[in-house]
């Protein structure tokens, strides 16, 4: 029997595809500390995770029957990928499935920042009936995004999808990626007409100096620190839907408090699932709880792509 443990869940479509291919798919959540025992007891040959479950050396070393680790999503920083592959375990992810969902969240945060929606939605329920005029005055100094420059750090699938939305809004796009020199961005309209625009990447320094808004789409590493904040335009905004730690959080708080940075948006945090209180309570941060790929459409695409990769990898 070919058994798969989908420890962080899997979309019903993906589960159905696997079952039709002869796999037994279990979606019961197993606590991290019990994973090794359960994988061995139930003779699972595949383990799929999202961002919650960690697949480190203890699991890789102590589960000799495990043949595949699947990550429903893009980043695999919660998996010891190279070590697993050295041990002969197949590691697969779904890099194409969530690009639209993450990019749309970036744009939602962008609009939230420039019109202070994140703060207005906190204040209106508390003061809207008693302090309407003052709130109207407080939130009346928003900005338009059209004509502004957005800097995209990391110009892979998600970064390029963000560029499509930004270009459609009339924004100027600057992109930085050490592995991408240029990209052709195809903008498709509702009637299937389209245009192609070529974006040449620039240096990180130029991007930081010239961008009104900056969004990160990197696999990991600390990209933005005090040094990078110093290079930014006064009053810039920054968005991180990529990885916790890509922005040094202490330096971000300092930049916000000094007003070097006007506002920030965070979907990911260094200490998930317990982000710093200073971030959660900061009056100029738009917040979401790591939901970049959490749309119904993306979850279905992730499930299908993951199922297809598992079937191909474990076919006999």
278 is catalytic: no
Same domain, 52 and 194: no
- Residue 22 falls in which region: left (phi positive, over 0), alpha (psi -120 to 50) or beta: left
What pLDDT shows up at residue 268? 96
pTM: 0.90
Same domain, 89 and 131: no
Domain that holds residue 302: 2-95+296-314
pLDDT cut 90: percent of the chain above it: 94
Same domain, 171 and 263: yes
Structural tokens at position 272: 């998930």
Which whole number is the average pLDDT over 59-64? 97
Q: d(Cα 94, Cα 156) in Å, to the nearest integer?
A: 14
What pLDDT shows up at residue 316? 60
Same domain, 107 and 91: no
Q: d(Cα 93, Cα 87) in Å, to the nearest integer?
A: 18
Same domain, 84 and 104: no
Same domain, 137 and 78: no
Same domain, 41 and 128: no
Give me the catalytic one of 217, 243, 282, 301: 243
3-state SS class at 314: helix
Q: Specify which residues 86 forms β-bridges with.
A: none
Each residue's pLDDT tens digit, 69-111: 999 988 898 999 999 999 999 999 998 899 999 999 999 999 9
Q: What are phi and psi of 136, to 5 degrees?
A: -60, -45
pLDDT for residue 281 is more than 70: yes
- H/E run at residue 262: strand 261-266
- Sheet order of strands, 23-26 included: 23-26, 2-6, 46-49, 68-71, 90-93
Contact by Cβ (8 Å): 236, 247: no
What pLDDT shows up at residue 75? 82
Residues 41/82/269/153 CA torsion (nearest 10 deg): -150
Each residue's pLDDT tens digit, 179-219: 999 999 999 988 889 999 999 999 999 999 999 999 999 98
- Of 86, 42, 90, the closest CA to residue 61 belongs to 86
Same domain, 142 and 276: yes
Q: d(Cα 219, Cα 196) in Å, to the nearest integer?
A: 27
- Of 192, 183, 186, 190, the closest CA to residue 217 belongs to 183
- H/E run at residue 197: strand 194-200
Residues found in the chain: 316
Residue 153 belongs to a domain with what CATH number?
Answer: 3.40.50.720
What pLDDT shows up at residue 190? 87
50 is catalytic: no
Same domain, 174 and 47: no
Q: d(Cα 48, Cα 29) in Å, to the nearest integer?
A: 11
Same domain, 114 and 263: yes
Same domain, 122 and 217: yes
290 is catalytic: yes
Mean pLDDT of the chain: 96
Each residue's pLDDT tens digit, 169-179: 999 999 999 99
Same domain, 118 and 244: yes
Q: d(Cα 30, Cα 14) in Å, to the nearest integer?
A: 20
What pLDDT shows up at residue 293? 92
Give me the catalytic one of 12, 200, 205, 272: 272
Q: How many structural domains is the chain composed of?
A: 2
Give me the catalytic one of 50, 282, 290, 301: 290
Structural tokens at position 189: 């309209």
What pLDDT shows up at residue 211? 98
Q: What are phi and psi of 139, to 5 degrees?
A: -105, 20
Alpha helices in the chain (DSSP H): 12-20, 35-42, 57-62, 81-86, 99-114, 117-127, 132-138, 157-168, 204-210, 226-231, 249-257, 277-280, 296-314
Each residue's pLDDT tens digit, 223-241: 999 999 999 999 999 999 9
């Amino acid at each position: 029997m070919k058994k798969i443990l989908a420890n962080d869940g899997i979309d019903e479509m993906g589960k159905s595809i696997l079952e039709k291919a002869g796999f037994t798919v279990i979606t019961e959540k197993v606590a991290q500390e019990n994973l090794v025992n359960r994988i061995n007891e139930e003779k699972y040959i595949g383990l799929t995770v999202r961002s919650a479950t960690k697949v480190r050396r203890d699991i890789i070393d102590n589960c000799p029957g495990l043949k595949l680790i699947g990550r429903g999503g893009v980043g695999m920083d919660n998996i010891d990928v190279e070590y697993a592959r050295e041990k002969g375990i197949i590691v697969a992810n779904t890099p194409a499935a969530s690009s639209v969902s993450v990019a749309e969240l970036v744009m939602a945060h962008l609009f939230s920042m420039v019109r202070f929606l994140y703060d207005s939605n906190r204040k209106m329920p508390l003061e809207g009936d008693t302090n309407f005029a003052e709130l109207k005055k407080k939130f009346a100094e928003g900005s338009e995004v059209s004509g502004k420059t957005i800097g995209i750090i990391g110009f892979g699938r998600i970064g390029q999808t963000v560029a499509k939305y930004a270009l459609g809004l009339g924004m100027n796009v600057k992109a930085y990626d050490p592995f991408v020199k240029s990209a052709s961005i195809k903008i498709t309209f509702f009637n299937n007409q389209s245009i192609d625009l070529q974006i040449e990447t620039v240096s990180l320094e130029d991007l930081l100096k010239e961008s009104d808004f900056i969004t990160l789409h990197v696999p990991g590493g600390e990209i933005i620190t005090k040094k990078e904040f110093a290079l930014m335009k006064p009053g810039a905004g920054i968005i991180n839907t990529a990885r916790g730690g890509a922005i040094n959080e202490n330096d971000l708080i300092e930049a916000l408090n000094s007003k070097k940075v006007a506002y920030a948006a965070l979907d990911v945090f260094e200490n998930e699932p317990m982000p710093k209180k200073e971030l959660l309570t900061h009056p100029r941060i738009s917040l979401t709880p790591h939901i970049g790929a959490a749309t119904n459409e993306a979850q279905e695409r992730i499930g299908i792509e993951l199922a297809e990769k598992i079937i191909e990898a474990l076919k006999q």
